[in-house]
Amino acid sequence: PNYGTYRQCYPEKPRQNQVFSAANEFRSNLPQKRLENPRQLPAPYPKPQKKDLDMTVCIAAIYNNGGVVAVSDKMLSTTDATFEPDGDCKKIFRLFKTIHALNAGHVGLQAEIMQSMAIPLISIHNQNPQKEFTVVELADLYVEHYNQAKRQRINNSIFAQYNLDLDLFLARQKEFADIFTRDLMDQVARFQMPETATIIAGVDKSAGVLEPHIYCIKGGYDISVECCDAVGYATIGSGARLAEAQF
C-alpha cells in the first residue's frame, strides 16, 4: 500500500516568523479605534528621604578621680513621641548639694518620681540641716519611689476593678478561687512600666574621704541598679551606644 511521502504524513509546522506575520496581518485588518482613556504607566515609587533620627543621651563621667562631669541634651520622650521643647528643658535634677540625677525615658514617670523624692528630702533637711546624703542612699531612694509608682499603677489597672489593692489581695487570697488568684498574679507578673533610665552621680564621704560615685538605674519590665564607679562613666538614652563608643 502507498502511505505517501514523509512530508505528506508529517507536514512541516509553520515557522515562528510566519505565525507572527499572520498575527500582524490579522491585527492590521481590525478596525482602529482610539482609546478614550488610555492606560498610563504608574509613577515610579519615590525613594524615602533621609530624616534625622531623634536621639536623647545623658552622660556622667569621673575625672581625675576627684569629681564628676554630667551633661544632658534637651530631648523629651513620651509614650508616643520624642520632641525638643523651645524653652528650657530640665533633665538634670539636684538631689543634694553634691549629687544630681540625670533622667531619660518617659518624662511623665520621671517627673512623678522626682516630685515624690523631693518630699522626704526636704523634710529630712528641715529636721536636720547637717544631714549629708550619699550617692547610694539617693539611688536606693529613687528605687523605692519607683516601686511606689509601679505599685500604684498595678492597683489602678488590675485590682481597682475588684475593689482591691495589692496588700488586701495578698491578705485575702485564700478566700478566692485558685483560677482567679492565678489570673491576677499573672497580670501582676506581666505588668510593664514605661521605659526609664536614670543616672545618680556625685561626690560623698561614704568611704571617709570625698570620692565620686555613679549609679545607673534602668526601669521597664523590671528595675536594675548598676554601680559604674569601676568603669568611670555611665550613659543612658537612645544615643547611649554612640556615646559609649567615644569612651
Q: What is the DSSP string of 120-156?
A: HHHHHHHH-TT----HHHHHHHHHHHHHHHHHHHHII
**What's the pTM value of the predicted model, to 2 decimals?**
0.75
Query: Cα(first)–Cα(last) distance of the chain, in Å?
Result: 101
* Segments in the chain below pLDDT 50: 16
Please provide residue 60's backbone torsions phi and psi, each rounded to the nearest 5 degrees.
Answer: -135, 135
What tens digit of pLDDT does each residue of 55-94 get? 789 999 998 868 999 999 888 887 777 777 776 778 889 9
Please report the beta strands in the chain, taking only residues with DSSP state E, as ranges in sequence order: 58-63, 67-72, 76-77, 82-83, 92-96, 99-105, 196-204, 211-219, 223-227, 233-236
Q: Specify the pLDDT at position 89.
A: 73
Q: Which three three-digit cell numbers place residue 48?
A: 524615602
Kindly state the helix (H) or strand (E) to which residue 27 belongs, with its residue range.
helix 16-28
**Residue 117 DSSP code:** H
Reading phi first (left if > 0) and then psi (alpha if -120 to 50, else beta), residue 198 is in beta
